[in-house]
């Protein structure tokens, strides 16, 4: 199956001073192969380009798409990680946005298309302008909170009929790195510690593919 990744972008607004390694306790938990088509909480390729920068309510009122329409069948990696920091509360208290940056650990300066920028908790997309479900449901302060994000398995240089790939983790597994980051229009921002999704864990995940992707 050919891969074609359309990764939406979210403004980082990292002007001014950035607090590095804040939060600094992000820890890799697990990685699983999934089909984008079946991931209800992950927006489709036609989602509003400002999704995450304003509230979903405002987008709907403006006639902008939140869901992004029907999604393609595309192999992705769902990456779980923990932090004791309540991320939506953290960004809302500071008027920061919330996103992530993923990259191949061997190519830290080439980050295009590696991860979707959104962060999720129990099926909910988190953000500065959305309700904080973690505080609402009473997660104990200081307890590890399990979050997740999505990484593309392959990113094409060229489109079919003869695609070539910038990277393809099925053909050449390697470590994937990411960090959580954000900022505000008035300056300042944050960047967490960098998390490594190990090559061995990715290889194992890609041996257990969702239906329709073969072995």
Q: What is the pLDDT of residues 99-150, one digit of tens each?
A: 999 999 998 887 667 999 999 999 999 998 888 999 888 777 778 999 999 9
Instruction: Indicate if the pLDDT at residue 158 is higher than 80.
Output: no
Q: Which helix (H) or strand (E) holds 29?
A: strand 27-35
Q: Can you give the pLDDT at residue 111? A: 67
b/e code 125-163 from CB counts within 10 Å (16+ = b): bbbbbbebebeeeebeeeeebebbbbbbbbbbeeeeeee
pLDDT reported for residue 21: 81
What sign for the dihedral angle of Cα 159, 162, 167, 171? positive
What is each CA distance from 71 to 45, 95, 99, 158, 198, in whole angstroms? Answer: 7, 31, 21, 20, 28
- Of 62, 56, 61, 50, give the one whose Cα is nearest residue 10: 50
Q: Can you give the pTM of this predicted structure?
A: 0.85
Bond into 161 cis (ω within 30): yes
3-state secondary structure of 95: coil
DSSP state of 54: B
Higher pLDDT, 49 or 93: 93
| 2 pLDDT above the threshold of 50 | no
Q: Show Cβ contacts of residue 209 under 8 Å, excluding neighbours closer than 6 positions.
A: 33, 75, 215
Q: Give tens-digit pLDDT for 164-202.
A: 668 899 999 999 999 999 998 777 899 999 999 999 999
Contact 77, 54 (CB under 8 A): no
pLDDT of residue 10: 39
Give the residue-averaged pLDDT of 18-30.
Answer: 92
Beta-ladder partners of 121: 124
Judge whether residue 83 has pLDDT over 80.
yes
56: part of which helix (H) or strand (E)?
helix 56-61
Quote the percentage of the chain above a pLDDT of 90. Answer: 56
């Amino acid at each position: 199956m050919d891969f074609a990744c359309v990764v939406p972008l979210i403004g980082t607004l990292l002007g001014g001073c950035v607090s590095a390694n804040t939060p600094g306790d992000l820890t890799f938990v697990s990685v699983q192969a999934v089909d984008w088509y079946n991931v209800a909480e992950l927006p489709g390729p036609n989602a509003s380009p400002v999704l995450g920068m304003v509230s979903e309510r405002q987008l709907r009122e403006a006639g902008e798409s939140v869901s992004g329409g029907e999604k393609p069948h595309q192999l992705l990696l769902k990456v779980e990680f923990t932090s004791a920091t309540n991320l939506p509360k953290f960004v809302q208290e500071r008027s920061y946005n919330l996103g992530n940056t993923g990259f191949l650990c061997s190519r830290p300066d080439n980050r295009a298309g590696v991860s979707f920028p959104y962060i999720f908790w129990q099926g909910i997309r988190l953000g500065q302008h959305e309700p904080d479900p973690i505080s609402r449901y009473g997660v104990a302060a200081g307890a590890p909170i399990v979050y997740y994000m999505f990484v593309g398995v392959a990113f094409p240089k060229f489109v079919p009929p003869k695609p070539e790939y910038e990277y393809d983790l099925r053909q050449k597994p390697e470590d994937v790195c990411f960090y959580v980051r954000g900022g505000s229009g008035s300056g300042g921002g944050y960047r967490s510690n960098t998390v490594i999704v190990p090559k061995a864990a990715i290889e194992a995940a890609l041996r257990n593919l969702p239906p329709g992707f073969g072995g």
